[in-house]
Amino acid sequence: MSDLHTKIHMDGDKMHIENVQDATPYLERAKALHREGIHGSNEFRHAAEIPMIAVQTYLNTHGVSFSEFMSNPVHMKMMLNDPDLKHTRIWAGRV
């Protein structure tokens, strides 16, 4: 899978940090697994392939830390049920 890259841009005395990731491999894998019906079992569903850049966008938008995101399952549930991220889904059911 692709790596997350951080770029730093200077604009006079201001510094801008940009994170970039090619999400194409994640989206292609999710599409292929969905098409093949590889969703896991009834007890353990493979719900999505989410690129780190999407997680980082969620963290910034909702003002939560990565630690909070990982420790509170509400955040992952919100991401998995977000219609804007439906292209990352393998199993299409509600989480």
Distances (CA, A) of 89 to 2, 29, 83: 18, 10, 10
> What is the pTM for the complete model shown?
0.79
What is the structure's pLDDT at 11? 94
Q: Which two tokens stand for residue 23?
A: 């999400």
Helical (H) or strand (E) element with 9: strand 5-11
The per-residue pLDDT for range 31-88, each reduced to its tens digit, is 999 999 888 888 888 999 999 999 999 999 999 999 999 999 999 999 999 999 999 9
Per the listing, tokens 């955040």 go with 75
Distance CA 26, CA 50 (A): 7
What is the structure's pLDDT at 38? 87
What is the structure's pLDDT at 89? 93
What is the structure's pLDDT at 2? 56
Q: Where are the domains of the chain?
A: 21-88
Distance CA 14, CA 40 (A): 47
